[in-house]
Amino acid sequence: MLRAGDAEPETVVALRLRLALAQEHRKARREEREMQERQWQIEKEKLTMQNDGQLTTQNAMNVELKDVNPCFQSWTMRMCCLFHEF
């Protein structure tokens, strides 16, 4: 146990310094991550603003998707039709 006026051992001082350094690194990484998240949020907002009032490709073409698999009896028939179309 240390008494008043006694100096801390060098190992304790070194550990305290390493702890302080690790805390600063963690703080810097957290701030960098928060900045990257904010930049990502800004980019998302920009894209949203650019797309407001514009039709998406799917809406513009009014695409309706249907499952055609029940129309074909077998997998082979589906593949033949697929290759025939392309």
Q: Considering the entire predicted model, what is its pTM? A: 0.46
pLDDT digits (tens, 9 = 90+) for 7-52: 789 999 999 999 999 999 999 999 999 999 999 999 988 888 877 6
Q: How many domains does the chain have?
A: 1
Q: Could you tell me if residue 31 is inside a domain?
A: yes
Q: Could you tell me if residue 33 is inside a domain?
A: yes
Q: Distance (Å, rounded) from C-alpha 86 to C-alpha 14?
A: 71
Q: Could you tell me if residue 1 is inside a domain?
A: no
With tokens 């006026």, the residue in question is: 5
pLDDT band at 58 (very low <50, low <70, confident <90, very high): very low
- Could you tell me which residue, 66 or 26, shows the higher pLDDT? 26
Report how far Cα 48 is from the mean position of its chain's Cα atoms: 17
Q: 22 is in which domain, residue-wise?
A: 10-53+62-85
Q: Could you tell me if residue 2 is inside a domain?
A: no
